[in-house]
Amino acid sequence: MQIVIQTLSRWYNLESRDLPWRRTRDPYCIWISEIILQQTRVAQGLAYYERFVGQFPDIQSLAQADEADVLKLWQGLGYYSRARNLHKASRMVMNELGGVFPSTFQDIQQLPGVGLYTAGAIASFAFGEKVPAIDGNVKRVGARFFGLVEDIQSQAFQKKLFSLLKDAMVFADANVFNQAMIEVGATVCSPTQPQCDVCPLADGCLARLQQLQKQLPVSRKKQKPLSKFHYYVDIRCGDHHVVVRRPDTGIWSHLHEFPLIEGDTADWDLDAVLGRWGIVEKIIVEGEKTFKHQLTHQTIHAKCWYLCLPSNKFVKNDGWQWLEKDAILSLPLHRLMEKMIRFT
């Protein structure tokens, strides 16, 4: 094992991609990069990372920011709870921990939005703690390297892999070891075409030795995404449109969008939608458009009617704001809302 780990470390030092968060030991920057990179490709995350640490260079500046500014900077990345949790955690560090970022695997996990992987990454990259950082890529590499047959989603798999990697790390620099495992998963040991002939782990890899690359990792079938039906109205009066801020819970919380009715079927018409808000006065229908928006666990089939009112004095609902388009575009918006408003 010791020789394989040395080969892995040498390979990483020679072959790894040069990424800005790998040039720092600052736990704040590492934390920001790790949260951005959850569910996001490096190529896309890079620009967001540069912008984020440019605008909020340290935990103090993030804690002092308005949540809306943080969400605006995050716009387009999706999974907005990540941004809300970053903001919440920065205030927790400033208000409860004296401004000092926690420095151990256990303590880092206390921050909102930080799970086992992120805590392991920060603890090892910033503080050198010998604890594994197991993301989706490392799970695949680990399952193949150690020949693990448990379901990759299961607790049993996670526990076993954690313990095996922790033992293997005894021979390594924690930062280099974890980064190298992530790098192997991202660049060499791909889901369908692992390049075993150039892999630094090849000499010790059970899947390669037994030709089990296709069988490992074992994964239970993916659930089909749920279908949801969203009915929006863009109500315009002159240069002003109605927008609402989404509630504290659920997807896209605190982002802004046009008034929405969530239906259970695909066949709602405009009368049914307007009736839910009690809008009965004369409305001019200027157009309508449908959108399909894919999230990880749900497919949103959205329809938006573009409406014009001669007067807005009768259209009043809790939380509705009348704003000009530029003002709406300056608010934090989800991607579906961006598509809908750009169509207007």
Catalytic residues: 34
Q: Report the length, in residues, of the chain.
A: 344
Residue placing its CB nearer to ligand SF4 in the complex, 207 or 243: 207
Q: How far is the CB of 2 from ligand SF4 (least distance, A)?
A: 17
Residue placing its CB nearer to ligand SF4 in the complex, 202 or 233: 202
State which of positions 129-158 bind ligand SF4 (CB under 6 A).
141, 144-145
The CB-side HSE value for 11 (13 A sphere, CA atoms) comes to 21
State which of positions 236-275 bind ligand SF4 (CB under 6 A).
none
164 binds ligand SF4 (CB under 6 A): no
Choose which of 205, 304, 307, 315 interacts with ligand SF4 (CB under 6 A): 205
User: Residue holding tokens 């990454």?
Assistant: 121
Q: How far is the CB of 118 from ligand SF4 (least distance, A)?
A: 23
Residues in binding contact with ligand SF4, number by CB under 6 A: 15
Choose which of 84, 130, 208, 246 interacts with ligand SF4 (CB under 6 A): 208
Q: How far is the CB of 198 from ligand SF4 (least distance, A)?
A: 8
Q: How far is the CB of 258 from ligand SF4 (least distance, A)?
A: 47
Residue placing its CB nearer to ligand SF4 in the complex, 193 or 290: 193
Of the candidates 128, 179, 227, 251, the one whose C-alpha atom is nearest the C-alpha of residue 15 is 179
Q: How far is the CB of 166 from ligand SF4 (least distance, A)?
A: 18
Choose which of 8, 122, 134, 207 interacts with ligand SF4 (CB under 6 A): 207
**Cβ-proximal residues to 72 (8 Å cutoff; 6+ apart), any chain:** 330, 331, 332
Residue placing its CB nearer to ligand SF4 in the complex, 86 or 169: 169
Residue placing its CB nearer to ligand SF4 in the complex, 114 or 189: 189
Residue placing its CB nearer to ligand SF4 in the complex, 196 or 270: 196
Q: How far is the CB of 141 from ligand SF4 (least distance, A)?
A: 5
Residue 303 token pair: 């329809």
Distance CA 38, CA 332 (A): 20
| Binding flags for ligand SF4, 165-204, as an x/- string (CB under 6 A) | -----------------------xx----xxx--x-xx--
List the helix and strand counts (H, then E) for the chain.
15, 7
Of the candidates 317, 326, 316, 320, the one whose C-alpha atom is nearest the C-alpha of residue 239 is 326
Residues that bind ligand SF4 (CB under 6 A): 141, 144-145, 188-189, 194-196, 199, 201-202, 205, 207-208, 213
